Amino acid sequence: MEKFLIAGLGNIGFEYENTHHNAGFMVLDEFARLNVAPFEDKRYGSIAKTSLKGRQIFLLKPSTFMNLSGMAVRYWMNKENIPIEHLLVIVDDFAIPFGSLRLRGKGSAGGHNGLKNITENLGTEQYARLRFGTGNNFAKGHQIDFVLSKFDDESMQKMPDLEYSCGEIIKSFCLAGLEITMNQFNHKK
């Protein structure tokens, strides 16, 4: 059975719930709920398992905090013997507008400390990442305040549709592969 690791990035703790930086956690929480896959606290994070047409999917919410996400990703890839082509990282990105979803097969961290740490731990930038656009509604120099602030009410109303779209991307990534999924979903708003 082919195995996949879907890592949603965020920070653990009540104070970080529904913050821009926790978009990855929010996406995985909804995907796990829809697939009746409860999370269990395990080493370096919370893990949920589900399957889809003969593929085993591990959902990971690292407990290492954002800046050390790579430790958790590397541990679970090694533990479950998951190839790098079967890794998808879901991450917030304030460089793209709120509601935009961009799937890439590689790339730089773009200043994102979670991606930077994953790249350091894996020794490569050649892994898929789904960037969840949060927009950049902050004054110059206040990006940390922004990423750690909560989504506003208007954004929260749109989250279920966005989380559902991310779930469709996850399923397509696992079933059809990266290239087909990018072609199908990257043009959509």
Q: Which of the residues are catalytic?
A: 21
As a dihedral over the C-alpha atoms of residue 116, residue 68, residue 55, residue 165, rounded to 10 degrees, the angle is -70
DSSP states along 68-128: GHHHHHHHHHHHHT--GGGEEEEEEETTS-TT-EEEESS---TT-HHHHHHHHHHT-S-SE
Q: Which two tokens stand for residue 150?
A: 């909560």
3-state secondary structure of 100: coil
- Find residue 128's DSSP bridge partners: 88
